[in-house]
Amino acid sequence: MIKKIASEILKIISFMLIFMILLSGVSFLCFSEKAVSQLKSGWQDSYNFLSDEPNTLQIVGVGNSDLYSGFSPLDLWKQYGLTSTVCAEPRQKIRDSLELLKLVFETQSPRVVLIETDMLYDRNLKNGNVRNQDDSLEYFMENADPKYFDSFIENLFTVFKFHNIWKSEDHDLKSKLYNTHGYKYNSHTYKLGNTDYMKETDQEEPLNKRNTAQMDDLLDFCKSKNAAAILLAIPSPASWNYARHLAVERYAEERGVPFLDLNLCYREMGLDMQTCFRDKGNHLNYSGTVAATAFLGKYIQENYSLPVHSGDNAYQHWDEDLGKFEALRENEDLD
């Protein structure tokens, strides 16, 4: 009887091992990040750095939709001759940003890393507060994130992350004609009324311990790679306020990294709040992105010694990407 049970257990273990080997093989051959980067999909923009020549990217940005809507690598190239990429997805977590950044550094050596700060407030408690008793069972149950396990499995077996990718591939030839290097173009204008969402206060909106710990890991990784990290807040009346600014500002000071909050720089950027958003104050439209990118590029140019690659034959494809992008944009054929 015991031998029979042991035999059945051995069969189950053998099956599981074979199944995991097959999953690994399929993930590597058919559902790798490299394969995804070649497709028209929501994942394409996050991984298209894999198609760049090794050690050609100077700046990499990680974050959520605020970043891919508010920073344009092609406009940075046009204005400053600097190369960059955006690795961002909707509601991207800090830990996912770290995994993407690790993948970037496998083939690239960026000297500046832009870290979008809205991620620090991902899954805050519904009332905007954070419990003091982080070790309580109630806190654990409320903040337990099953997606952490999902993320681990998806990174281990990418077939689970990208299994629907082929369904979303529409074989649209136009999508193959330009590469925005992670930026998602949208020229729609939502006429947002002026709002004093950055009204000064002395009250901070606390950062929860989980997100702070994950951001610590992200900053530590940047330091280990000798890359300068910049905490960056993209204009977003719907998701930002002065209380969050204060908390992130204090955190940045404690970590010894710069914090650039563009929500306080409308006048310097020449932005009109009524015309620079594409939705209800969540994301910048293209005109807002151009202004934000120009402001950010000037800051980087003045504070970091990065070589300008304009006119360099080795970077001619950037001019080609820019030309294709502008041709389609002029025809409003990108939205």
DSSP for 39-53, please give it: SSSTTHHHHGGGGSP
In the chain, how long is the greatest CA-to-CA distance?
A: 80
Residue 20 included in any domain: no
**pLDDT, tens digit (0-9, with 9 covering 90-100), for 44-83:** 567 888 889 999 999 999 999 999 999 999 999 999 999 9
pLDDT band at 165 (very low <50, low <70, confident <90, very high): very low
Q: Which domain holds residue 109?
A: 31-330
Residue 16 lies in a domain: no
Work out the pLDDT band at 219, boundaries 50, 70, 90.
very high
Query: Is 101 part of any domain?
Result: yes
Number of domains making up the chain: 1
Tell me if 9 is assigned to some domain. no
- Amino acid identity of residue 199, one-letter, is K
Q: How many CA within 13 A on the CB side of residue 322?
A: 19
In a domain, 18, yes or no: no
Residues 275-295 have a mean pLDDT of 96
Looking at residue 69, its pLDDT comes to 96
pLDDT at position 19 is: 56
Supply the pLDDT for residue 23: 46
What percent of the chain is predicted at pLDDT more than 70?
Answer: 69
Assign 332 a pLDDT band (cuts: 50, 70, 90): low
Read off the pLDDT of each residue in 133-147 and give the average, rounded to a whole number.
43
22 is a domain residue: no
Q: Of 124, 133, 68, 103, which is closest to residue 286 (Cα–Cα)?
A: 68
Give me the residue label for tokens 């407030």: 121
pLDDT tens-place string over residues 297-322: 999 999 999 999 999 999 999 999 99
pLDDT band at 178 (very low <50, low <70, confident <90, very high): low
Question: What is the reported pLDDT for 287?
Answer: 96
Tokens encoding 160:
């689970």
pLDDT at 113: 98
**pLDDT higher than threshold 80 for residue 183:** yes
Indicate whether 97 belongs to any domain.
yes
- pLDDT over threshold 90, residue 197: yes
User: Is 277 within 8 Å of 194 (Cβ atoms)?
Assistant: no
Lowest mean pLDDT across 10-14, 33-37, 75-79: 33-37
- Residue 261 placed within a domain: yes
Q: For 230-271, write each residue's pLDDT tens digit.
A: 999 999 999 999 999 999 999 999 999 999 999 999 999 999
CATH assignment of the domain containing 102: 3.40.50.1110
Q: What is residue 46's predicted lDDT score, i.e. its pLDDT?
A: 74
